[in-house]
Chain A
Amino acid sequence: MVIRILTENGINEFFNQLQEIRTGTRQNLSVELLKENNFTASFDEEIEIEEGTFKTKKELIEYLCEKLNLKNNKHLYYHRGLWSWLSVFYFKDLTSIKDGKRKVNEDAKYILMEPKNWRRYYRHLLASFARVYCELDTLANPYLSYPVPIWSDLHEQLFAYQQIATNKPLIEAANKLYWDEKNSKIKRGAGSKNEGSPRRFSDIVGQFELTFDLNAMSLDAILSIFPEQEFKKWNSAA
């Protein structure tokens, strides 16, 4: 199907239908939301996309970024109508079925709410991860390793803060602590709230920022200021 964009009217209808799915009065989004002129408009370019079986976020996000040539079209990061329409198109991939009922998360996971407000933006299941993929390259692998509908605690703790999400050495440090490179999986316990967890990582970054310009620091310099006692088990654990 050729990519379209949702109009504001289409976005309102998307809100309504998400709510209807939550309350059980509807099972799926209507097909009209994808192509009706009342809800959609044509996109700047004619780009054909297809449904598919995407085992991980990476497969879907890589596919979309290539189709949109996103690395060279970064202004599209903020295109509310585009990313919201893509969420409609891939809605079945972005949601899961539990006890025979489609499980729908908060609206911001599917509708790009305030595109330039980071705290809203990072919650979008497609736009946010596509940007992470384009900006961080292979450093994004840990966050794209999950199945498409999954919202990991690791992502939540790190990417909720723009000062972490857009700082490559910081993400590299987090990967070194929480990503098992050899087995390509998140280290066991990285979702906890305990000592040295990603939650503590983001708390500590907030404190360091008062004294250090973390954007100007290398990976080694960043790791050297983290409390050794608390983080040493993560530095080596697989």
Chain B
Amino acid sequence: MIRRYNYTGRKKLLGIRINEWTKKGTKYFEVICDLRNSGFPDDAKIFVEPYFKSSFLRFDFGTIARFQPPANPDVSDLPTTDHLKYRIKVVDESSKHGLILGTADIRGVSVDNPHSGKQSILPVDFVELGSRIWTLEFRADRPVLAVNSLLTDFGIREKVKQGDFFTLVYPEVIKMIALKLVTEDGFYDEGLSGWQAEWMRYFKEVLRQTQMPTQNDENSVEEWVNDISEAFARKYQVVEHYKTLNKTN
């Protein structure tokens, strides 16, 4: 279990919602919040920073007493993604040091697709991937199956979780996640938390893989990750699906 300590006196901002929508190919957002009764000084500034990985934008949203969102803030200068996150900062600019008084780090909810806020154990994101079709990314909060956004015009959104793509790609993805888990601190002493704990639960309760590999034994680890991948393929009958999908008359 990772314990976090906050020595800074910074408050966690609660009750904030970010709505996102797309118009003519450009993604916009709005921030819904009321921080007037949160105990911050009236003149404390509010900044919102939409970000994805190491790229971010910054918008001035006025002050606690005078919340002034910019007109139609758009995020088109950020990489293409369905998983944009937003840092909200309340900053004391009255002292010389620009102290952060409160922060929040939240995901936006697409008003075009209200279910987008639901978090899957393996979310799919459509991003710039150059010449590749997919890759598995281990982001800060969980693994994400990243798929090339150039293919969204070719129906890839619908094809990812079904059909050939699923049968050919997912068993290997599951293996990559299992392999990553083995190297995490706390794997062998049931000390996992966060997404790592969620995936272990999935392996044990859904895929029924309760056996653990032997520590420091490469062969045992390789066997374990292959067993996990095999159990997944068996559960979702990927070979049968593939045969059905590609049956020639």
A residues at B contact (CB < 8 Å)? 12, 78, 113-119, 161-163, 210-218, 220-221, 224-225
B97 touching A221, Cβ below 8 Å: yes
| In the assembled complex, B77 has its CB within 8 A of some CB on chain A | yes
Cβ–Cβ < 8 Å partners of B98 in chain A: 212-217, 221
Q: What is the size, in residues, of chain B's interface with A at 8 Å between Cβ atoms? A: 24
17 contacts between A and B (CB under 8 A): A78-B77, A115-B128, A116-B80, A117-B54, A161-B54, A211-B99, A212-B100, A213-B47, A213-B100, A214-B98, A215-B58, A216-B45, A216-B47, A216-B91, A216-B93, A218-B96, A221-B97
Which residues B148-173 have CB closer than 8 A to chain A?
A: none
A interface footprint on B72-105 (CB within 8 Å = 1, 0 otherwise)? 0000011110000000010101001111100000
B residues at A contact (CB < 8 Å)? 8, 10, 45, 47, 53-56, 58, 77-80, 89, 91, 93, 96-100, 128, 130-131
B99 touching A212, Cβ below 8 Å: yes
Count of CB-CB pairs between chains A and B under 8 Å: 64
A221 touching B91, Cβ below 8 Å: no
Given that A211-B8, A212-B98 are contacting pairs, would A116 and B79 also be in contact in the complex, using a CB cutoff of 8 Å? yes
- What is the distance, in angstroms, from A85's C-beta to the closest C-beta of chain B? 17
B91 touching A213, Cβ below 8 Å: yes
Complex Cα spacing A116 to B91, Å: 27
A116 touching B78, Cβ below 8 Å: yes
Name, among A12, A116, A162, A212, the residue most crowded by chain B CB atoms within 10 Å (CB to CB).
A116
Identify 11 new A-B residue pairs, CB closer than 8 A, beyond the known A212-B99, A221-B96, A224-B96.
Answer: A116-B78, A117-B54, A162-B55, A162-B56, A163-B56, A215-B47, A215-B58, A216-B98, A217-B96, A218-B96, A220-B96
